[in-house]
Amino acid sequence: MQRDFHGTRAWVAIFFILGAFTATLTHHLIVAGITPGLDFASFYAAGTLYHRHGGAELYDRSLQESTLKALHVHHPDLYYVHPPFEMLAFAPLAWLPLNTAYALWTAFNFITLLASAAMLLRMFPLGPRWYLAVICFLSLPVLHGLGEGEDSCILLLSVCACYLLMQRLRPLAAGVALALMAIKFHYLIILAVLLFIAGKYRVLKGLVIGLIGLIVLSIAFVGVHGISDYIRFLRTFNANGLVPMSLQYFPNVRGFFHRLGWGQIPTLVTSAAMVVAAGYAMRRSKDNVLSFSLCITTALVASPYGHIADAALLVFPLLVAFQNAARSLLATAAMVIIIPFVIMLSGSYQWNLCFLVFFLFLAVLFRECIRQPSAAVAAQAPGVTTV
């Protein structure tokens, strides 16, 4: 009962504090007449383009630029590069005025975060340290995602729902839930590889089922030709100007090495080594929740692309670390990562430096996974199941 009380207190605190931030920000942007969140502006522009020209022209660069200009959004590297199935959300929103659509989308993201918080607090109760969960949900990646109108909150919801269903011995449904990660499939590819190495074949079967459904939905929006246009658009992504200008802001291996002036080969080798090492650790580990946390962190750090808001995925492994108070090194590493998570509010684009902290956390997770399981772990602590 005590744990339930602390979890409820944490959720209520997240609801009121995050809700106040969301309402204040949205009201300020609308009243001030400022074009809300650049990222959401690209989503809204894509929905508008879809209504005007149809799905076949959704990934036409010139049409995307002209649509953004019509919304008075001028940004040199802003393109809609997300999968076609996201039109399920953005096409209806594009019928509304921009500010109204932004308010509704922000409310949706807020509800998504509340759902994620409820699942995490249920799976990983923190007891008297409930305030650590509040800190995580008020971190820069979460607030940045809300302010910019990003869709990164869905990523966190996807991994939370996936593990909750794994915990309840429903691996097929867990895989379907994980398919939502396809909105940023560069993370999902790494997750799928690691889950395959770890032998989570039933989860992967559910993932395939979910992906097939999303592919069918995408074809319904843009047609088969539109899918090929999307693939072609992604292949020429570097030439479109987005990656060269944004690469230095990636909070991962690629962004960090770019800051150092290193080329692609060291990045590829390091990222591949991280995935291989994480797969090895997951195969050895008897603690599923630590393995899944390592999987999420590796996907974030080793991905070829990244965004500040996507680091909200770290809320999951951080709460896992805080719950495992017996592992002092893991809890200490979690406390260390909280500092850049929160303090970097004044310098959001220094996240390449935070990569070093992320890497430290990843290394500690790796160490904990490959250690011989203690009797307590072997007895399966709360939140640890075998799927």
Instruction: Please give the pLDDT value at position 164.
Output: 96
List Cβ neighbours of 271 (8 Å cut-off, separation of 6 or more): 253, 254, 302, 303, 304
pLDDT confidence band for 3 (50 / 70 / 90): very low
Least confident window among 146-150, 158-162, 179-183: 146-150
Instruction: Please give the pLDDT value at position 43.
Output: 92
Least confident window among 1-10, 49-58, 310-319: 1-10
Is 345 a residue whose pLDDT tops 50?
no
Least confident window among 66-75, 124-133, 296-305: 66-75
Is pLDDT larger for residue 110 or for residue 264?
A: 110
Angle at 291 between CA 289 and CA 297, to 5 degrees: 105
Is 352 a residue whose pLDDT tops 80?
no
d(CA 163, CA 175) in angstroms, rounded, equals 9
Instruction: Specify the 3-state DSSP secondary structure of 60.
Output: coil
pLDDT confidence band for 132 (50 / 70 / 90): confident
Which tens digit of pLDDT belongs to each residue from 308-318?
Answer: 889 899 999 98
Quote the pTM value: 0.88
- As a whole-number percent, the residues of the chain with pLDDT over 70 amount to 82
Which tens digit of pLDDT belongs to each residue from 53-94?
Answer: 888 889 988 888 888 888 776 665 678 889 999 999 999 999
Tokens in use for 306? 């990244």
Among residues 46, 93, 103, 37, which one has the least CA distance to residue 70? 46
Is 347 a residue whose pLDDT tops 70?
no
Is pLDDT larger for residue 32 or for residue 197?
A: 197
Among residues 81, 9, 8, which one has the least CA distance to residue 46? 81
Which tens digit of pLDDT belongs to each residue from 152-177?
Answer: 999 999 999 999 999 999 999 999 99
Which tens digit of pLDDT belongs to each residue from 200-212?
Answer: 999 999 999 999 9
What is the rounded radius of gyration, in angstroms, for the C-alpha atoms of the chain?
A: 20
Query: What interhelical angle do 152-167 and 98-123 show, nearest 10?
Result: 30
Tokens in use for 282? 């997951």
User: What average pLDDT does the structure give for the chain?
Assistant: 83
pLDDT confidence band for 342 (50 / 70 / 90): low
Mean pLDDT of 266-289: 91
Instruction: Specify the 3-state DSSP secondary structure of 164.
Output: helix
Mean pLDDT of 135-146: 87
- As a whole-number percent, the residues of the chain with pLDDT over 90 amount to 43
